[in-house]
Amino acid sequence: MIRKSPKLAGVDAAAVIKEALQRIDVPSRRKFLQSSLTLGGLSLLTGCSLVEAGGIEKALMKISRFNDAAQAWLFDPSRLAPTYPESMITRPFPFNAYYGADKIRQVDADSYRLEVTGLVADKHAWTLDELRALPQTDQVTRHICVEGWSAIGKWGGVTFSSFLARIGADTSAKYVGFKCADDYYTSIDMPTALHPQTQLTLSYDGATLPPKYGFPMKLRMPTKLGYKNPKHIQAIFVTNTYPGGFWEDQGYNWFGGI
């Protein structure tokens, strides 16, 4: 099961759903289950017929796309997320993923290569040592999970905008996508990719980023919800084609800004 921070009592609904989704691999079945679950709430509310429910789900997805646009409009590229003193760091910082702590991926540091593809000038794959040799910065910021809880942590690494400049990324492109060693994937908008606090994270709390927080590298964005911050990143690509995401494809809002 997902380990939560100690103050969160009881069984966690989102964790249960996560586990259930893991077990239900057939997409059609997953879709059916989700539809019927939503339907339960729906019929409770309005007594709508089964046929209409598909329409309601589509309408909700459309509103979610509208909310993406609203958030892109609200997003101020120069507005910084609040930072905190180190004394406020949440200890232990909660582990969270779509799988349990027993399934945390172990990535081999020596054979690790970060692939960079898409609309970039320099497509060479990066070793961990090369990434560590780049200028590093620290941030103590609040991580806010879509489940509602939040925790303050300290992340260190390379400012993502400087990395994008280094690889000659086309910053007029719409999206930056991420593929991860734990089969997670997600994508973000270019303005957030260029935000000064968006960081290619290599360390946590002054030490090498441990596997539970995404060794060897994660993307840290204090301007987005937790599920937008991919761990164990293996490939980064710049694109104008909407890449979606693991949770986003199931209904979480794509922009996921805070």
Partner 1 sequence: MTDSMPTIHPAWLRLTHWLNVIAVVILVMSGWRIYNAAPFFDFKFASEITLGGWLGGAIQWHFAAMWLLAANGLIYLLLNAGTGRLWTKFFPLSPRAIVTDLRTALRGRLSHDDPQQYNSVQRLAYLFVMVDSVLLVLSGLVLWKSVQFPLLRELLGDYETARRVHFFAMAALVGFVAVHLAMVALLPRTLLTMIRGR
Residue closest to 132 by CA, chosen among 246, 208, 227? 208
- Answer for which of 48, 50, 69, 74 binds partner 1 (CB under 8 A) is 74
In the range 160-219, which residues lie near partner 1 by CB under 8 A? none
Q: Is the link from the previous residue into 216 a cis peptide, with omega within 30 of 0?
A: yes
Residue closest to 141 by CA, chosen among 247, 258, 4, 7? 258
Binding flag, residue 89, partner 1 (CB under 8 A): no
Binding flag, residue 85, partner 1 (CB under 8 A): no
Contact assessment for residue 198 and residue 192, using Cβ atoms and an 8 Å cutoff: yes
Contact assessment for residue 120 and residue 169, using Cβ atoms and an 8 Å cutoff: yes
- Answer for which of 6, 7, 206, 207 binds partner 1 (CB under 8 A) is 7
Near partner 1 by CB under 8 A, which window of 8-16, 122-130, 170-178, 231-239? 8-16
- Answer for which of 26, 44, 51, 207 binds partner 1 (CB under 8 A) is 44
CB closer to partner 1, 80 vs 101 = 80
Binding flag, residue 253, partner 1 (CB under 8 A): yes
How many whole angstroms from its chain centre is CA 234?
14
State in angstroms the smallest separation of the CB of 109 from partner 1. 33
State in angstroms the smallest separation of the CB of 46 from partner 1. 9
Binding flag, residue 4, partner 1 (CB under 8 A): yes
Contact assessment for residue 138 and residue 155, using Cβ atoms and an 8 Å cutoff: yes
User: What whole-number distance in Å separates Cα of residue 179 and Cα of residue 184?
Assistant: 6
Q: 165 in the Ramachandran plot: left (φ > 0), alpha (ψ -120 to 50) or beta?
A: alpha
- Answer for which of 8, 48, 109, 121 binds partner 1 (CB under 8 A) is 8
How many whole angstroms from its chain centre is CA 101?
17
In the range 126-145, which residues lie near partner 1 by CB under 8 A? 142, 144-145
Cα 213 to Cα 43, 206, 240, distances in angstroms: 40, 13, 29
Binding flag, residue 12, partner 1 (CB under 8 A): yes
Binding flag, residue 257, partner 1 (CB under 8 A): yes
User: What whole-number distance in Å separates Cα of residue 238 and Cα of residue 190?
Assistant: 9
Residue ranges in contact with partner 1 by CB under 8 A:
4, 7-10, 12-14, 17, 34, 36-42, 44-45, 59-61, 63-64, 67, 71, 74-76, 79-82, 142, 144-150, 222-223, 247, 250-253, 257-258
